[in-house]
């Protein structure tokens, strides 16, 4: 019997209801909160997503992944010390057991942070009407809330604090509503670290990992020293091509791959991919998921840019598309995640606060089946231990106490509109300054990157020079003129194969808008010089 199609199952879940009412209430988060007992999240409090999510009755259970876990991962036992912290919840217990220092010696009495109040998010508005939140050492004992510094500054558990785990679990349910029963979240110190842990769970030296032909270089670099080999799958502006994935797997020849059987681990960035900015449509995601079912793949869905999906690009002269009018309308503008299609529990999704709050928080979370999250935590508790307490409590004060789920969605809508302005800015600059004879691009739909393709067959030395030499010549010529870009070849999944195309990656989110304009102008001048084209100002070409 063939596996059930992701799409068919999705229509059987209450995700469908979301088209008729606000997802914030449909997914039951506010009513569950109002019925739940007050959260007590003391020092290293035991917690799990099960305490905070809907029961998911009627949904299938995740498949087991024992056949995919490494020997290392299977061998992990619960940490004895972390395990003993469950007794701390026993009333009246005097702890002589653990290694926790006394909060008496934490030299911080309180911290204060000023946050913007939704929907007044600009720096100016924050200065004028932002709200100052103070968090003291003993707020809980003093009846001032459910999280304080005496908890946050002490050791915690790998799942994260109960206070933040509740928030991310509810957020995941509101946004993705995973269609199987036994999903769970675990806080992380960001996607880079979470990926590192995941590789150790799934990759044995010599294994092959599937990914897009151009991929996030740190993701690839983290796996190579573990002995992993990358297989880059052909892609277009919607990312990885399911037909190419199918063909690579169907025609896999172990003899040509050190005797290794067909790969089964797929690492992808479906939204605003780094470096290409490709964003998979819903159809593309469904096709990839079906392919994953066909070949029994396990997917690492790395999604730091998920909420940097922008308004449609309309070009210079057409009017802008109006912003989403409600939270529900906003959520519906987002391409559904692979997690939201995942009836088998074959996706480990990585979310990060890096691109939507601040990278220095070093905080994110994963969502996967309970089996996988449990293995992940076993590794986490003896490596990263727990995400930084100060980061978690600052996020809690902002996301939970100041914004709530609705205010956070307002913030994400605000980011959508801000990024749209910046994306439009770089597209207009490219239209104005880049020589169209050699440079082409698609307006990005998500993320922070603009991927520019250069037709290197127009290079004066084409046929006598290599793709990497031309790429380097452009890169250096741009630096000489004061513009830094990233070389496409840095992101090749297969470093031994430079491909036959030249790409440069630019970031439109970081520099001020007028500097981006100037940077693109300089880049345009560099291209004209390298390709011996007339300069934009009409003066003679540079030799
Ligand atoms: C695809 C991708 N994954 C992960 C990261 C890093 O995420 P984090 O800051 O959560 O480690 C980045 C950032 O550059 C990225 O582009």
Q: Give 299's strand partners.
A: 266, 347
For residue 512, the CA-to-ligand 1 centroid distance in Å is 22
Please identify, by atom number, the ligand 1 atom nearest to the C-alpha of residue 353: 10
Determine the residue of 195, 218, 358 to mutate for testing ligand 1's pocket, defined as the one with the most ligand atoms within 8 A of the Cβ atom: 218
Contact 395, 189 (CB under 8 A): no
* Residue 268 CB less than 6 A away from ligand 1: no
Please identify, by atom number, the ligand 1 atom nearest to the C-alpha of residue 359: 9
Give residue 524's region: left, alpha or beta (phi > 0; psi -120 to 50): alpha
* Residue 270 CB less than 6 A away from ligand 1: no
Please identify, by atom number, the ligand 1 atom nearest to the C-alpha of residue 447: 16
Tens digit of each residue's pLDDT, the chain (543 residues): 333 344 333 333 333 333 445 777 766 787 788 888 888 788 888 889 999 998 888 999 999 999 999 999 999 998 777 777 777 777 888 777 777 889 999 999 999 999 999 999 999 999 999 999 999 999 999 999 999 999 999 999 999 999 999 999 999 999 999 999 999 999 999 999 999 999 999 999 999 999 999 999 999 999 999 999 999 999 999 999 999 999 999 999 999 999 999 999 999 999 999 999 999 999 999 999 999 999 999 999 999 999 999 999 998 888 889 999 999 999 999 999 999 999 999 999 999 999 999 999 999 999 999 999 999 999 999 999 999 999 999 999 999 999 999 999 999 999 999 999 999 999 999 999 999 999 999 999 999 999 999 999 999 999 999 999 999 999 999 999 999 999 999 999 998 999 999 999 999 999 999 999 999 999 999 999 999 998 766 554 443
Query: Using CA of residue 371, residue 373, residue 374, residue 378, what is the dihedral sign?
Result: positive
Contact 46, 86 (CB under 8 A): yes
Contact 488, 501 (CB under 8 A): yes
* Residue 239 CB less than 6 A away from ligand 1: no
Residue 485 CB contacts under 8 Å (≥ 6 apart), including other chains? 475, 478, 504, 505, 506, 523
Q: In 116-247, at which residue ranges do the beta strands (DSSP E only) sit?
A: 131-136, 183-188, 208-212, 229-233, 235-236, 239-240
What is the C-alpha R_g of the chain?
A: 25
pLDDT value of residue 320: 87
Distances (CA, A) of 25 to 20, 154, 399: 11, 35, 18
Q: Kindly state the greatest CA–CA separation across the chain.
A: 85
d(CA 93, CA 103): 17
Residues making up the chain, counted from first to last:
543
Please identify, by atom number, the ligand 1 atom nearest to the C-alpha of residue 188: 10
Can you list the alpha helix ranges (DSSP code H) found in 176-268? 191-202, 217-223, 242-250
Question: For tokens 């879940």, what's the residue?
Answer: 13
pLDDT value of residue 86: 75
Let me know if 262 is exposed, middle or buried by CB neighbors in 10 A (0-12, 13-18, 19+).
Answer: middle
Determine the residue of 168, 269, 272, 355 to mutate for testing ligand 1's pocket, defined as the one with the most ligand atoms within 8 A of the Cβ atom: 355
For residue 170, the CA-to-ligand 1 centroid distance in Å is 23
Query: Using CA of residue 33, residue 35, residue 41, residue 47, what is the dihedral sign?
Result: negative
* Residue 216 CB less than 6 A away from ligand 1: yes
d(CA 522, CA 434): 9
Can you list the alpha helix ranges (DSSP code H) found in 345-438? 370-381, 389-395, 404-433
Structure tokens at 439: 């440079």
d(CA 249, CA 479): 41
SS3 296: coil
* Residue 354 CB less than 6 A away from ligand 1: yes
Contact 334, 303 (CB under 8 A): no
For residue 260, the CA-to-ligand 1 centroid distance in Å is 29
* Residue 352 CB less than 6 A away from ligand 1: yes
Contact 244, 233 (CB under 8 A): yes
Contact 506, 293 (CB under 8 A): no
For residue 510, the CA-to-ligand 1 centroid distance in Å is 15
Q: Give 233's strand partners.
A: 212
Please identify, by atom number, the ligand 1 atom nearest to the C-alpha of residue 193: 11
| b/e sequence 142-157, b meaning 16+ C-beta within 10 Å | eeebbbbbbbbbbbbb
The CA-to-CA distance between both ends of the chain, in Å, stands at 66
Please identify, by atom number, the ligand 1 atom nearest to the C-alpha of residue 354: 9
d(CA 255, CA 140): 62
For residue 74, the CA-to-ligand 1 centroid distance in Å is 27
Structure tokens at 166: 């509740």
């Amino acid at each position: 019997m063939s596996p059930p199609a992701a799409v068919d199952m999705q229509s059987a879940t209450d995700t469908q209801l979301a088209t008729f009412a606000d997802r914030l209430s449909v997914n039951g988060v506010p009513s569950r909160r109002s019925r739940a007992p007050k959260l007590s999240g003391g020092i290293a409090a035991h917690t799990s997503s099960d305490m905070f999510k809907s029961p998911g009755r009627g949904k299938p259970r995740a498949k087991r992944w024992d056949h995919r876990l490494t020997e290392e991962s299977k061998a992990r036992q619960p940490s004895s010390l972390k395990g003993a912290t469950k007794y701390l919840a026993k009333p009246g217990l005097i702890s002589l057991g653990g290694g926790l220092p006394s909060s008496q010696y934490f030299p911080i009495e309180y911290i204060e942070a000023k946050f913007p109040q939704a929907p007044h998010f600009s720096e100016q508005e924050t200065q004028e009407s932002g709200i100052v939140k103070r968090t003291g050492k003993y707020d809980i004992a003093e009846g001032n809330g459910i999280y304080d510094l005496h908890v946050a500054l002490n050791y915690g558990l790998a799942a994260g604090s109960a206070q933040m785990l509740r928030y991310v679990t509810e957020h995941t349910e509101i946004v993705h509503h995973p269609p199987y029963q036994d999903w769970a979240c675990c806080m992380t110190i960001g996607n880079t670290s979470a990926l590192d842990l995941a590789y150790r769970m799934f990759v044995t030296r010599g294994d092959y990992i599937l990914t897009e032909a151009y991929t996030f270089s740190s993701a690839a670099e983290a796996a190579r020293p573990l002995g992993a080999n990358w297989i880059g799958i052909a892609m277009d502006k919607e990312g990885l091509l399911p037909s190419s994935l199918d063909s690579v797997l169907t025609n896999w020849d172990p003899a040509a791959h050190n005797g290794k059987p067909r790969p089964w681990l797929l690492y992808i960035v479906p939204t605003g991919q780094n470096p290409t900015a490709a964003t998979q449509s819903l159809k593309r995601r469904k096709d990839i998921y079906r392919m994953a079912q066909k070949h029994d793949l396990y997917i690492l869905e790395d999604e730091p840019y998920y909420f940097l999906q922008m308004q449609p690009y309309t070009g210079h002269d057409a009017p802008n598309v109006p912003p989403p009018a409600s939270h529900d309308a906003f959520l519906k503008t987002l391409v559904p995640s692979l997690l939201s299609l995942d009836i088998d529990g074959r996706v480990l999704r990585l979310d990060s606060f890096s691109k939507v709050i601040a990278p220095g928080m070093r905080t994110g979370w994963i969502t996967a089946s309970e089996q996988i999250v449990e293995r992940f935590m076993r590794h986490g508790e003896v490596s990263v231990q727990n995400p930084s307490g100060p980061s978690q409590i600052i996020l809690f004060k902002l996301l939970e106490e100041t914004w709530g789920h609705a205010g956070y969605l307002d913030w994400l809508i605000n980011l959508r509109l801000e990024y749209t302005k910046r994306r439009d800015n770089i597209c207009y600059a490219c239209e104005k300054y880049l020589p169209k004879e050699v440079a082409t691009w698609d307006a990005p739909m998500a993320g922070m990157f603009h991927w520019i393709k250069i037709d290197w067959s127009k290079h004066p030395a084409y046929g006598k020079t290599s793709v990497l030499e031309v790429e380097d010549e452009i890169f250096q010529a741009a630096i000489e003129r004061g513009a830094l870009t990233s070389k496409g070849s840095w992101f090749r999944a297969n470093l031994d194969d430079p491909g036959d195309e030249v790409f440069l990656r630019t970031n439109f989110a970081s520099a001020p808008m007028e500097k981006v304009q100037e940077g693109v102008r300089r880049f345009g001048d560099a291209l004209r010089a390298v390709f011996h084209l007339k300069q934009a100002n009409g003066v003679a070409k540079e030799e």
